[in-house]
Amino acid sequence: MPPQMQLPTRKLGRYGPDVSAPGYGTMGLSVFYGPPPPDEQRFEVLDYVYQTGCTFWDSSDLYGDSEELIGKWFARTGVRNEIFLATKFARTDEFAEDDDGQCIKDACNRSLQRLGIKTIDLYYLHRIERYMPIEKAVAALADLQREGKIRYLGLSDCSAAALRAACQIHHIAAAQVEYSPYKLDIEKNGFLQTARELGVAIIAYSPLGRGLLGGQIRSREDLSTDDLRRTLTRFGPEKFRKNLKLYEVLSALGEQKGCHASTLVLAWLMAQGSDIIPIPGTTKTRNVQLNEQSVMLQLDPDEIKKIRYEIENAELVGQDLPDGHTGSIMGQNELRQGDYLISADPLVTCEGLYDLMILEDTADAIP
């Protein structure tokens, strides 16, 4: 089933291939945002994403049955070679005892088995891992590349210093970070500048503020009781109402352009540079359509400046973190331990990410 459309492409870093932009994030199909839909419904979404020409997909071994779902979809469609697939590996208990990166290689083998494929196109370290120096992790990824099990290396939610240290071992094709109107941190903390210096593409996850700019979440009551977003301070009762005002402002600007707010935002993000590739996720084909329309939306310099003005002057409160945590999932607090770069913030690690999963059970207790 050949795709009915073809999206424009962007280069995946200095030495990478061209990939469709925007891409597609598969997390919400499987985990964190309430119960996943039945397989057939999810296959329909993947079919539609593919038909629109979006062939840059993102997954993780932490995303419930995401890899298994994609593997089933490959088996039923036979179009694996037409999808540029990125996935990530997260911490297991093996990390604490591992001293040669074998746990990373084992994680890759498990992902390959779940996906039913021989090679992963882009393989990310999901979070900087406190148990393993970044240099050693990247060396293990480079081994996987030499073995033909992965094509390109990536880091997710790392700091500028960690990215630079990684690139001293092997070129990193892409860095996945949160980049949205609600979180422009990479513009201010040196990360974007460093990535551009090193020739690393920016893969923007949660580009629509975890759904806040999609227009379908009008109150916390629109989130299921087991939705991870209930644990995030950005979605706290009072903070939610303030943060939603930005959607209303951007929605009004979108109406002036004859488009939805989500379409406007994705077009604006991609206008920040040819190295920016958003990967919005959704479980609805209508939202896929709105997202892909962003490639046809032309913004002139004045419109780009106007959107930025509204974003930077909005009263945005809370973070993409559970209540009680400080700092950022993007780890800027680092320590040097010998020659190894580690993170000082537990939420930067995969261990911290697992903590977020546990918090789902106490979602309603967080204001």
* 205 bridge partner residues: 178
Would 121 be classed as within a structural domain?
A: yes
Total number of domains constituting the chain: 1
Tell me the C-alpha distance between 187 and 330, whole Å.
13
Identify the CATH number of the domain in which residue 312 sits: 3.20.20.100
Would 2 be classed as within a structural domain?
A: no
Mean per-residue pLDDT pooled into runs of 10, the chain (367 residues)? 81 96 94 84 96 96 94 98 95 62 92 98 85 87 98 96 96 97 96 98 95 81 77 81 91 97 98 98 93 96 98 82 46 36 37 40 32
DSSP per-residue letters across 15-47: T--EEESS-EE-HHHHSSBSSPPPHHHHHHHHH
Report yes or no: 299 and 313 within 8 Å, Cβ to Cβ.
Answer: no
Would 176 be classed as within a structural domain?
A: yes
Would 287 be classed as within a structural domain?
A: yes
Q: Which residue from 54, 62, 108 is spatially nearest to 83, judged by alpha carbons?
A: 54
Residue 96 three-state SS:
helix
Would 179 be classed as within a structural domain?
A: yes
Amino acid identity at 132 = M
Which residues, including other chains, have CB under 8 Å from residue 235's CB and lie 6 or more apart? 210, 220, 223, 229, 243, 318
Q: Which residue from 35, 37, 91, 93 is spatially nearest to 60, judged by alpha carbons?
A: 91
Would 120 be classed as within a structural domain?
A: yes
- Which pLDDT score, from 0 to 100, does residue 356 have? 42
Which class for 45: exposed (0-12), middle (13-18), buried (19 or more C-beta within 10 A)?
Answer: buried
Which residues, including other chains, have CB under 8 Å from residue 336's CB and lie 6 or more apart? none
- Which pLDDT score, from 0 to 100, does residue 327 have? 40
Report yes or no: 52 and 22 within 8 Å, Cβ to Cβ.
Answer: no
Q: Is the pTM of this model over 0.75?
A: yes
User: Domain limits at 115?
Assistant: 9-365
* 153 bridge partner residues: 123
Report yes or no: 340 and 138 within 8 Å, Cβ to Cβ.
Answer: no
Would 1 be classed as within a structural domain?
A: no
Report yes or no: 176 and 123 within 8 Å, Cβ to Cβ.
Answer: no
Catalytic residue numbers, as ranges: 63
- Which pLDDT score, from 0 to 100, does residue 174 have? 98
Would 124 be classed as within a structural domain?
A: yes
Structure tokens at 352: 């911290």
